[in-house]
């Protein structure tokens, strides 16, 4: 584990964050005494992860098919998608 003084962390904060993102753990010292540890966060267990583990959803790869933006959209003559979007936006306010 690397160590750094408070003043060093303050002056080079972006550099220390880059190191932490890369997996480093850094102990912050104030006058030679440990006061904090900068460490990578554990991956959060969000709702999607729980749903995936329960077999209720399948997470995508993050890649869209090459023709995604040129595909013909499905018909929605009753505008149900639009109505759901408007309702969701109104709930958020």
Concatenated DSSP letters of 28-61: EEETTEEEEEE-PPPPP--HHHHHHHTTS-----
Structure tokens at 38: 């900068």
Residues 6+ apart with CB under 8 A from 5: 28, 29, 30
Give the CATH number of the domain where residue 21 resides: 3.40.1620
44 vs 10, more confident? 10
Per the structure, how many domains does the chain have? 1
Indicate the length of the chain as a whole number.
Answer: 93
- Asked if residue 91 has pLDDT above 90, the reply is no
44 domain residue, yes or no: no
Q: What pLDDT, in 10s, does the model give residues 16-69?
A: 999 998 889 999 999 999 999 999 887 666 677 788 888 888 888 788 889 999
In this prediction, residues 68-76 reach a mean pLDDT of: 90
Question: 31: domain range?
Answer: 2-38
In this prediction, residues 86-90 reach a mean pLDDT of: 90
């Amino acid at each position: 584990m690397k160590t750094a003084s408070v003043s060093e962390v303050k002056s080079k904060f972006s550099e220390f964050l880059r190191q932490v993102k890369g997996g480093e753990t850094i102990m912050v010292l104030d006058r030679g005494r440990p006061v904090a540890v900068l460490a990578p966060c554990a991956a959060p267990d969000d709702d999607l992860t729980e749903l995936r583990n329960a077999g209720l959803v399948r997470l995508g790869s993050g890649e869209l098919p090459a023709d995604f933006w040129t595909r013909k959209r499905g018909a929605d003559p009753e505008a149900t998608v639009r109505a759901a979007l408007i309702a969701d936006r109104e709930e958020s306010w």
